[in-house]
């Protein structure tokens, strides 16, 4: 929450971008206990103009979480969305060199942090409207809300167009593809997880217990969730989110 943020790469409005990034972090973590024992001491945010956003896993500067974004000048909605997603990975302990994404359960972390970002956009719009980072810019809250609404509509379309609408049926229909590392629409899962997040901050806090075991996402989802529950107990998290996900996906 207080780690220094260092900007790197091509930023046309660096001071303004830093102001927005700081606000995004503040609202995403507002009212949350940050419980992980693997938090970075610094954040490095680098802007590229090609390639997808990502966490750069590196051996040097082992206390720094390095985030790569790809945004244009003053594109604050896209900046907030991409940064929120990658910040979710940092919260989920996926920023150190050993945090290499692995099947069969990497898809679940991706769904969890994507939903974390969408949740954050609602909080950002509320904060921007009440106290904008730029004087007289309250109206931009409407643009943030529309950006979020478009993401949610795309998630609903995912479910209607190519997979069952309820998360459990969707999971059964797409599990083999996801566990093989192939990309599939995740709309039903994201909508279901968002409803859980919005129930209260304690579920969101459980993200800090993710991936605190050597196998990380290389475990089948049933074993992954079992380790996650154990990890929640170890760091003093509520442990509410893992069983809610078991119920959402109807895991045995």
pLDDT tens per residue across span 67-76 = 999 999 999 9
**Over residues 223-243, mean pLDDT:** 98
Query: Residue 119 above 50 pLDDT?
Result: yes
For 240, list phi and psi in degrees, rounded to 5. Answer: -80, -35
CA-to-CA distance for 252 and 239, rounded, in angstroms? 18
* Average pLDDT along the chain: 95
Which token pair is 220? 């089948």
Rounded to the nearest angstrom, the gap between the alpha carbon of residue 89 and the centroid of all alpha carbons in its chain is 6
Per-residue pLDDT band for 162 (boundaries 50, 70, 90) equals very low
- Beta-carbon contacts of 137 under 8 Å, excluding residues fewer than 6 positions away, are 128
Output the pTM of the full model: 0.96
Per-residue pLDDT band for 157 (boundaries 50, 70, 90) equals confident
CA-to-CA distance for 88 and 205, rounded, in angstroms? 11
Q: What is the pLDDT of residue 49?
A: 87
Query: Residue 108 above 80 pLDDT?
Result: yes
CA-to-CA distance for 232 and 151, rounded, in angstroms? 30
Query: Residue 190 above 60 pLDDT?
Result: yes
Q: What is the pLDDT of residue 158?
A: 73
**Strand duo 5-9 + 54-56: pairing:** unpaired
CA-to-CA distance for 132 and 23, rounded, in angstroms? 9
CA-to-CA distance for 182 and 118, rounded, in angstroms? 23
Per-residue pLDDT band for 252 (boundaries 50, 70, 90) equals confident
Asked which of 82-91, 160-169, 219-228 is least confident by mean pLDDT, the reply is: 160-169
Q: What is the pLDDT of residue 164?
A: 59
């Amino acid at each position: 929450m207080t780690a220094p943020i260092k900007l790197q790469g091509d930023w046309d409005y660096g001071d303004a971008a830093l102001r927005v990034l700081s606000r995004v972090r503040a609202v995403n973590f507002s009212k949350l206990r940050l419980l992980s024992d693997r938090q970075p001491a610094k954040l490095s945010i680098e802007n590229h103009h090609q390639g997808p956003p990502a966490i750069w896993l590196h051996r040097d500067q082992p206390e720094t979480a390095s985030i790569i974004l790809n945004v244009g000048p003053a594109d604050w909605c896209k900046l907030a969305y991409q940064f929120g997603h990658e910040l979710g990975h940092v919260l989920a302990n996926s920023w150190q060199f050993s945090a290499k994404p692995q099947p069969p359960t990497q898809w679940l972390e991706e769904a969890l942090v994507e939903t974390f970002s969408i949740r954050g956009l609602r909080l950002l719009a509320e904060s921007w409207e009440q106290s904008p980072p730029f004087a007289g810019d309250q109206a931009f809250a409407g643009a943030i809300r529309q950006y979020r609404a478009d993401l949610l509509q795309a998630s609903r379309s995912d479910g209607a167009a190519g997979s069952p609408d309820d998360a459990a049926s969707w999971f059964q229909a797409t599990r083999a593809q996801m566990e093989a590392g192939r990309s599939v629409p995740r709309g039903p899962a994201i909508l279901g997880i968002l409803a859980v997040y919005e129930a209260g901050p304690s579920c969101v806090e459980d993200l800090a217990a993710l991936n605190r075991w050597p196998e990380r996402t290389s475990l089948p989802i049933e074993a992954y969730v079992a380790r996650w529950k154990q990890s929640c107990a170890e760091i003093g998290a509520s442990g509410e989110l893992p069983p809610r996900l078991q119920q959402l996906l109807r895991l045995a």
